[in-house]
Structure 1
Amino acid sequence: MKTRLFPFLVFGCLFMGQAQAQLPPEIHTNLQQRIDQGVNTGIVVGIIDANGTNYHSFGVKSLKTKEAVDPHSIFEIGSITKVFTGILLANMVLKERMTLEDPIQNYLPEGVTAPTRKGASIQLVHLANHTAALPRMPSNFEPANPANPFADYSEAQLYDFLNNYTLRRDIGAQYEYSNYAMGLLGHVLALANKMDYEALLAAQITKPLGLAHTGIQLSPIMEKNLALGHSGGLQVENWDLTTLAGAGAIRSNAVDMLKFLGANMGLEKSDLYPAMQLSHLNSREEGAAPMVGLGWHIMVLGDTEIVWHNGGTGGYRSFAGFVKGGNKGVVVLSNSNANVDDIGMHILHPESPLQEIKPSIANKIKEEIRDKGLAAGLERYAQLKQQKATEYEFGEAELNRLAHDYVNDGDMEKALAIFKLNTTAYPRSSNAFGYYGAALMYHGDRENAISSFLKSVELNPANPKALEKLEALGVDVTNLVKDMDLDEAILESYVGQYELAPNFMLTISREGSQLKLQATNQPEFPIFPKSENTFYLKVVDAQITFHKDEDGRVDGLTLHQNGQDVPGKKLE
């Protein structure tokens, strides 16, 4: 998100030459399992120390072409971009062109006014360490294409949100991870230098460090080496960040990223090293958690201090980090949206656990169908789910991937059966019904395709693909999705915090007639009513059902997502 380890000798080396160190056995096994079980499509791990670099490549760039990934494969690094933005700020500070305490208002164009609170202004450092009291995402973020959500967010929208936002907490008082704030910082830095963000990135970081294959726009060589993004075993679109480029627009490969880490660690001599050192220093008050530099996050595990950041876009996940004051750094790049943080942390701090990889139920069922036929495979699925639910990786994505494998093989009988099984196994999944509808439509079964798409829209009225397919099938969707008005007293009764797991809560808030949901350390999103107690999100396929006790008081909710129903108790 299979198959073999693809060793690759680097065409060049950093520092003292390429080290030939092997991955510890438990990491090698874990990475191979991720590929074999379809968790990741491809993974490249790069490790740097005083002796040089070594690379370990697993899997492929694309499930269609089967071309192996290697250290030169290009990945979207997502939010690791933020550390580049932090270093750009640090460099400006050391050149005495800015100070960390400068109000951002000093760098905004005429007619744009940053919000203030209690006489205090947002400073550049607040954008860099996520304490500006700005939300993770702006409320006017409404992508035309959810598969490439940042592409159409404009400079006008950036300014309009800033002009009209009211800060809900004191500036600097609390950490709240913000893509908007870091995107704004990148934009401000570019304005101050009278160039766009990518030109600034090239002038101050990538060209001086010799990062020839790191940037935003894909060069011909980068495009040739691009590892295509995947989600749930399916290829997805690349993301294009324009206005908010400083938050997550960069693409790179393992070779360049290890050069970048080497410069941060002082192993590669660079004029940028003082700026990099400044970016590594905790910029928050002593004792405040988490510790954040300028873009970088700082974690202390035992006696080890790790400077790190991760990243993720629609079809990619990434990790970059190093031991501060030590000589080990690691980058992990994957063209799947499955988390890889545990790999990087385990390499830097072996006591940190690796994610347990379970065998995929899809692989087991595929074997059963191959050996004993479709009916036996479906029966076996039911048996294993009832008897060995904890021994296999069950999930909507597993069956979805298996069904698409059969589509690619041209076996529509098996594909339709598995898509249908997914709707039975995950009856609250809009995506499951959407994929089943698409398969039925492809197979020429118009009536059942319409029925499945209608069910998909019923579960998630904001599902644009299902609406498009219905229109293509001649269904009038004009009045299919209707906004529902609820009394504000009903909405207010849902406001509060709901604990789904230790240290993980959903917070429901209200602005007038709009309810909003925010998960721990995640962005805030509006939710929309389908009924008096059932709401849905437009940004992801997820629904919320609120529950009442015998006295009619709201005492909990259930989150329906990815085929799971997760209850949460309302906290008093």
Structure 2
Amino acid sequence: MLKNLFFFLLVGALFCCQAQTKLSDEVIENIKLRIDNGKNPGIVIGIIDQEGTRYHSFGVKSLKTDEPVNEYSIFEIGSISKTFTGILLADMVVKGKLNLEDPLQILLPDGVKAPTRNGVSIKLVHMANHTSSLPRMPDNFNPANPANPYIDYSEKQLYDFLNSYELSRDIGSKYEYSNYAAGLLGHLLAAKNNTTYEELMLSVIANPLKMENTGILLTPEMSKHLATGHRGRIEVENWDLTTLAGAGAIRSSAVDMIKYLAANMGMVKTKLYPAMQLSHKNSRAEGAEPIVGLGWHTQVFDEEEIIWHNGGTGGYRTFAGFTKDGSKGVVVLCNSTTGADDLGRHLLYSKSPLNKIKSSIGAKMLQVIERDGLTAALDTYSELKKSPIDIYDFSENELNDLGYYFLARKELENALAVFKLNIENYPNSSNVYDSYGEAFMEKGNKEKAIENYEKSVAINPGNLNGLDKLKELGVDTNKLVTEIVVDEGILENYVGKYELAPGFILTVTRNEKQLNVQATGQPQFPVFPKSSSVFYYKVVEAQLTFNRNEDDKVESLTLLQGGRTMVGSKIE
């Protein structure tokens, strides 16, 4: 399945850094490994503190041109746009045009009714802090072009979904990250002002802050500086969020985003500062996790509080954050689907660890294939995996990405061989069979494609891509997925906190017959039963197994994701 792809660059790829003396050797080396080992084509970092503003640029705008990125390069900032939406709401509150406690219904047009539950209405604050009980995405979201999925989602679909949706839990009771809610809020705020979301955002935020290269529609100047988005070595389409613009449509540069952070931090005083301060303030009950304002999230470290948001679209990952005391702000922009949130957090709080970057086994195999052929590359993989020297990344995604690199180039035999090798190494992964099935579809081998897609769905019934492909191939998928109902008493035994690593905890909660899981610093997602003890995600290729001890008490869970297994002991 073409998801979570990384690209491959030969070691020694273009590495460019501006003003790198201001970054520690540890950070520079870590970024160099990301570039050289094929994690990111380009990374731009902006830092603002009491010493001033500085930028650090690494890598390229496009693998096809080798033109370096810089602080003026344009990136899709994705869900960081939600903080703009939060500030737009806060600005209207500060001006007395709205109240956070106002019901959503007051902004809706005639004929559209917001759902209620137990006589309680969704309030505007719930829309901005992800507690509205509206889902992450609407069920009528069926893009004609998955490469640009939001472009054809219409206003009619937006309101049709709202009119028909039945809330599954009490409003305000749980945090569930919702692109739909943020997009709807942005759309309604613009409508109240008789304008578009982009025009509202520009007039209230970007123009007053002199963010000259920030917007949704690309101006000629922005197009000139656009850093191309990537999945693997493959360039991808830009995303165009129309109706749901408030959830993630904005494009910007490091220069403009530093202006945005400076205003939020109060380093540059503007008329927007009171609204920005309101958007940072915790809008949830005291002690509720995660801490959320209006769009912005707050992460608490031992000695520091960071206000932040990240973003991701089809070919970009971004991070923006600042210390609560306003002393330092950081933006990190990447033109690939591999993010660098850890870099942003580390630059704000030095005790927050950087991800360990290993050499790409995919890049190594590509190098050997181009020089010595496929057989030699397969032998190299086997030899290096047996080696006691742990310097290569042998994760499932490495081979998956290499296979898609060959698939995009129509080198089907290479693609099939690489995907087959991935199956041999990760036979319990739904994703590897999905990818193998796609390669057989490309080759025209319908029988083999069906065989592998069915194996993929058997491992993970939530693989919607596999189910869709099987339908295209004429398979009756109703026979493949059986709904399993687990007794609520059993589900209740799974509720608790499980520590997979120091500081990294999975919190399992229950809403009637639905289990939900939230990882530290991440949104909450539902999981679905494959059996009474095994559950799978639909939003990501991952599976949880709850483990019992000899006394039949749940003592741990096992997370299987990307071919890797992690066991977390139950601590609460």
Map of 1:479 onto structure 2: 476
- For the structure 1 residues 451 and 294, does the alpha-carbon distance in structure 2 shift closer, same or farther, using more than 3 Å as the test? closer
Distance 1:352 1:568 in 2: 21
SS at match of 1:211: coil
TM-score where L is the length of structure 1? 0.81
Could you tell me which amino acid in structure 1 is paired with residue 72 of structure 2?
Answer: H
CA contact (8 A) 2:14 2:66 kept: no
Offset at residue 319 of structure 1 (A): 0.8
Map of 1:114 onto structure 2: 114
Matched, 1:4 2:6: no
Distance 1:41 1:569 in 2: 37
- For the structure 1 residues 238 and 544, does the alpha-carbon distance in structure 2 shift closer, same or farther, using more than 3 Å as the test? farther
Residue pairs, 1:388-467, within 5 angstroms: 388=388, 391-405=391-405, 414-439=414-439, 452=452, 455=455
Offset at residue 336 of structure 1 (A): 2.0
CA contact (8 A) 2:169 2:511 kept: no
Could you tell me which amino acid in structure 1 is paired with residue 166 of structure 2?
Answer: Y
Structure 1 unpaired stretches of 5+ = 9-18
Distance 2:270 2:263 in 1: 6
- For the structure 1 residues 111 and 349, does the alpha-carbon distance in structure 2 shift closer, same or farther, using more than 3 Å as the test? same
CA contact (8 A) 2:61 2:226 kept: yes
CA contact (8 A) 1:492 1:510 kept: no
Please list the CA deviations of residues 326-383 of structure 1 after superposition, one character each: whole Å capped at 9, or x if unmatched.
Answer: 4421100112222311111111121221111112222344455567654343233234
SS at match of 2:62: coil
Distance 1:25 1:99 in 2: 48
CA contact (8 A) 2:508 2:516 kept: yes
Distance 1:562 1:57 in 2: 30
Offset at residue 533 of structure 1 (A): 8.8
CA contact (8 A) 1:309 1:319 kept: yes
Could you tell me which amino acid in structure 2 is paired with residue 124 of structure 1?
Answer: L
Residue pairs, 1:551-562, within 5 angstroms: 561-562=561-562
Please list the CA deviations of residues 220-239 of structure 1 after superposition, one character each: whole Å capped at 9, or x if unmatched.
Answer: 33334332333355444433
Range with greater deviation from structure 2 (174-183 or 32-41): 174-183
Map of 1:217 onto structure 2: 217
Map of 1:385 onto structure 2: 385
Distance 2:306 2:538 in 1: 36
Map of 1:57 onto structure 2: 57
Map of 1:317 onto structure 2: 317
Map of 2:170 onto structure 1: 169
Offset at residue 88 of structure 1 (A): 0.7
- For the structure 1 residues 62 and 200, does the alpha-carbon distance in structure 2 shift closer, same or farther, using more than 3 Å as the test? same
Matched, 1:46 2:46: yes
Offset at residue 78 of structure 1 (A): 1.4
Range with greater deviation from structure 2 (335-344 or 31-40): 335-344
Distance 1:483 1:295 in 2: 40
- For the structure 1 residues 119 and 507, does the alpha-carbon distance in structure 2 shift closer, same or farther, using more than 3 Å as the test? closer
CA contact (8 A) 1:72 1:225 kept: yes
Residue pairs, 1:235-250, within 5 angstroms: 235-250=235-250
- For the structure 1 residues 92 and 42, does the alpha-carbon distance in structure 2 shift closer, same or farther, using more than 3 Å as the test? same
SS at match of 1:228: coil
Could you tell me which amino acid in structure 2 is paired with residue 110 of structure 1?
Answer: D
Map of 2:506 onto structure 1: 504
- For the structure 1 residues 170 and 490, does the alpha-carbon distance in structure 2 shift closer, same or farther, using more than 3 Å as the test? closer
Could you tell me which amino acid in structure 1 is paired with residue 360 of structure 2?
Answer: S
Offset at residue 203 of structure 1 (A): 1.7
CA contact (8 A) 1:216 1:250 kept: yes
Range with greater deviation from structure 2 (544-553 or 84-93): 544-553
CA contact (8 A) 1:136 1:522 kept: no
Matched, 1:187 2:197: no
Could you tell me which amino acid in structure 2 is paired with residue 6 of structure 1?
Answer: C
Distance 1:569 1:83 in 2: 35
SS at match of 2:379: helix
CA contact (8 A) 2:429 2:456 kept: yes
SS at match of 1:93: helix
Map of 1:13 onto structure 2: none
Q: How many residues in Structure 1 have an aligned counterpart in Structure 2?
A: 554
Distance 2:166 2:399 in 1: 43
Offset at residue 85 of structure 1 (A): 0.9
Structure 2 unpaired stretches of 5+ = 1-5
SS at match of 1:183: helix
Distance 1:401 1:439 in 2: 13
SS at match of 1:209: coil
Could you tell me which amino acid in structure 2 is paired with residue 522 of structure 1?
Answer: P
SS at match of 1:208: coil
Distance 1:509 1:146 in 2: 31
Residue pairs, 1:208-357, within 5 angstroms: 208-357=208-357
CA contact (8 A) 1:30 1:357 kept: yes
Please list the CA deviations of residues 273-299 of structure 1 after superposition, one character each: whole Å capped at 9, or x if unmatched.
Answer: 232233233334444443332222223
Matched, 1:206 2:189: no
Q: Alignment identity in percent?
A: 53
Offset at residue 41 of structure 1 (A): 2.4
CA contact (8 A) 2:484 2:529 kept: no
Offset at residue 543 of structure 1 (A): 5.9
CA contact (8 A) 1:77 1:251 kept: yes
Distance 2:566 2:527 in 1: 19
Map of 2:3 onto structure 1: none
- For the structure 1 residues 353 and 284, does the alpha-carbon distance in structure 2 shift closer, same or farther, using more than 3 Å as the test? same
Range with greater deviation from structure 2 (544-553 or 155-164): 544-553
Residue pairs, 1:97-108, within 5 angstroms: 97-108=97-108
Distance 1:339 1:435 in 2: 23
Could you tell me which amino acid in structure 2 is paired with residue 226 of structure 1?
Answer: L
Matched, 1:127 2:149: no
